[in-house]
A and B are shown apart, each in its own frame.
Chain A
Amino acid sequence: MNAPFKPNTMTLDELPVGQCALIASIDWDSLDHGEACRLKHFGFDDGIAVEPLHLGPFGRDPLAVRVGRMIVAIRRTQARAVRVTPAR
């Protein structure tokens, strides 16, 4: 299941590389406990700036994402739980 829909938003895996965005909402319930815990550890939270930087060579998976001051790798399935508002 994807994060709840809000206007002008998309999921993090749809965000083009190099496009900055703010996290609009995170669908914590679609993640298992370990995954949710790690995303929180990485600092994922509403209103935080994210930017996809690189994609894996096979099937554009996983994603390297800048979140706050960190760069983290997550898989597409996890990125799908994060809804973002692209910055203009």
Chain B
Amino acid sequence: MAEMKFEEALKKLEKIVAELENGDLALDEALEKYEEGIRLSKVCAKKLDAARKKVEILLKADDGSFELKPYDEKSDEDDKPQEIKKKR
């Protein structure tokens, strides 16, 4: 359950809200959905705060295999517009 992705949890939560507002549910079913909704909102809030930014670069080896390496943003700051204008 803890592995559910943020957008999955949020979508499920909003779906439950719609079902409850629709008003066709029996009381005990409604209570169940309500509890599930509360639980999902907590999961969403928790994931929002987990500031886990991950930036990686995909590297291709000669044998065709792939590898993910962390991308260092600072190391390439020297890029200048000269990449953009070529001499004619």
A associates with B: no
Residues of A within 8 A of B (CB): none
